[in-house]
Amino acid sequence: MTHDLYRSKTTRHIEQTQVAAGAQLMVRAGLAAAQWIAARFPQETRVVVLVGPGNNGGDGLTVARHLKEGGYKVRVHYLSGSRAASAPTARALELWHRAGGTLDDAWDENNDLVIDALFGIGLSRDVPEVVSALFTQIEASRQKVIALDIPSGLDADTGAIRGKALHAHTTLTFIGDKPGLHTAEGQDYAGQVLIFNLDIPASAFPPGDLQLYQPDTLPPQLQRHQASHKGSYGTLGILGGAPGMTGAPLLAGRAALRLGAGKVRIGLLGPGLAVDLVAPELMLAPAKDLPGQPHDIWLAGPGLGQSPEAIDLVAELLGRPEPLVLDADGLNLLASQQELARLCTERAIPAVLTPHPAEAARLLGCPTSQVQQDRLFAAQELAQRYQAIIVLKGSGTVVCDSNHASINGSGNAALAAAGQGDILGGIIAALMAQGMAPLDAAKSGVFLHGAGADLWRQEFAAAIGLTASETIDYARKVLNRLPAA
């Protein structure tokens, strides 16, 4: 289900406000986490808690105390560096000692479960080398790790790694969910994410800084009426298919048909192809002929190339009033042709741009690594610069316009295959053809694409070998299984 995500600044504000009102959030967090662990791990489990001097360490000490009092064999490995413990953590440390607990200076690998409470959401520097070496040692031992609030070394806002991070099997995150758990490196490091709101009343939460998008009902625009016909569901025009790249627009067209577009025409720049034998419902023509025919929605870019003809076609579409999705070479042309960028910013209906990180870097004129260091910032910068709706693809795809941002809550590594971007463009365009607003279509299209891969992975657990063609049918299954709102 779609829910709010909170940046660190907002989370800290909620926390400070509640503590000022008398809420003992560290007590609640430690008890909630200890109860969750005790319900899943037997008493003979050997537990070690990694603790730092910040408030996250206080959470860990509270967990350690409750587990010890519950009969578990618990050790605390305390890494303070040169920092003094925060006041709440000093109090938690005192209670740990009163319960008969001690602190270990040397690391002992004889553990079954590691509870990570070293660094919380306030980490603003790379982890020290001694901690990095410890993380390497823990991961080599294959001990199960439970992270409190966020895996240590992971940036809570961006999902970037601060030098080195510790992979968690499960993350028990407190107060509200964090963007960094769901994009960039976050999904690989956080594992399963469980949210504990610590009994903070709903009225104390401001609107989220963004959302994790996981719809559970069919969008109302897609609910079909008996008294309808193919024209009711839009005519989509796709431009692409330079010599040697015919497959890209065909994939996009097949996806659009199977996700509900009423009619799909494909304009090919390469040598003429009379029919798609896999999807003969597609209407094929030379690319130059399509702009002269009426279309409700356009998709340009799959296999388009960067020829003068391609430039002219993109300029033509950017200047037209119909909604437009730009992908692949359409984006590369936008990055290299100043006039195309100007046309994009002046559109009455914002175009939907669907870059992967390298394409986003070209559009921004920066290294790809800079895009990945803060995917949310990069997507929002693109939205402002091009006055467009942005779909920044990757682990935790970001969808945003100038005012609203979300992270997609579906998908897995099986989507790392050729052609997946082509069918995503086709899916988004198909939803727009059926009446969805561009931003809503972008969010829903990305979700359906990822959820199709998730459905496939239920049959193929290792996530190896999913093709773009297969993904189309799985995405259609997901769409048709959504109940009406």
**DSSP assigned state of 288:** G
pLDDT(82) > 80 = no
| Domain map (residue ranges) of the chain | 3-209, 220-481
CB 173 within 8 A of CB 196: yes
111 labelled ligand-binding: no
Q: Judging by DSSP bridges, how do beta strands 405-408 and 398-400 pair with one another? A: antiparallel
Kindly compute the dihedral angle of the four CA atoms of residues 356, 360, 366, 367, in this order, to the nearest 10 degrees: 0
**Fold classified for 3-209:** Rossmann fold (3.40.50)
pLDDT(107) > 90 = no
* pLDDT (0 to 100) of residue 485: 84
55 labelled ligand-binding: yes
Q: Judging by DSSP bridges, how do beta strands 210-213 and 192-196 pair with one another? A: unpaired
Average pLDDT over residues 365-371: 98
120 labelled ligand-binding: yes
* pLDDT (0 to 100) of residue 440: 98
116-130 tens-digit pLDDT: 999 999 898 999 999
In this chain, the answer to whether the domains covering 3-209 and 220-481 adopt an identical fold is no
Q: Which residue has the tokens 């016909």?
A: 229
159-198 tens-digit pLDDT: 999 999 999 999 999 999 999 999 999 999 999 999 999 9
Structure tokens belonging to residue 40: 């899943």
Structure tokens belonging to residue 207: 């609107």
CB 116 within 8 A of CB 77: no
112 labelled ligand-binding: no
159 labelled ligand-binding: no
440 labelled ligand-binding: no
430-463 tens-digit pLDDT: 999 999 999 999 999 999 999 999 999 999 999 9
356 labelled ligand-binding: yes
Q: Which CATH superfamily is domain 220-481 in?
A: Ribokinase (3.40.1190.20)
152 labelled ligand-binding: yes
* pLDDT (0 to 100) of residue 110: 87
Q: Does pTM surpass 0.85? A: yes
Q: What is the 3-state secondary structure (H, E, C) of 195-250?
A: EECCCCCHHHCCCCCEEEECCCCECHHHCCCCCCCHHHHCEEEEEECCCCCCHHHH
393 labelled ligand-binding: yes
284 labelled ligand-binding: no
Average pLDDT over residues 385-396: 98
Looking at per-residue pLDDT, the higher value among 28 and 107 belongs to 28
169 labelled ligand-binding: no
Three-class DSSP category at 322:
coil
Average pLDDT over residues 11-32: 97
Bridge partners of residue 195, in order along the sequence: 173
116 labelled ligand-binding: yes
pLDDT(415) > 90 = yes
CA 336 centroid distance within chain: 28
Q: What angle do CA 148, 187, 58 make, to 5 degrees?
A: 10
422 labelled ligand-binding: yes
At 342, give phi and psi (nearest 5°): -65, -45
397 labelled ligand-binding: yes
395 labelled ligand-binding: yes
What CA–CA distances, in Å, run from 331 to 64, 351, 411?
52, 11, 23
Average pLDDT of the residues of the chain: 97
141-166 tens-digit pLDDT: 989 999 999 999 999 999 999 999 99
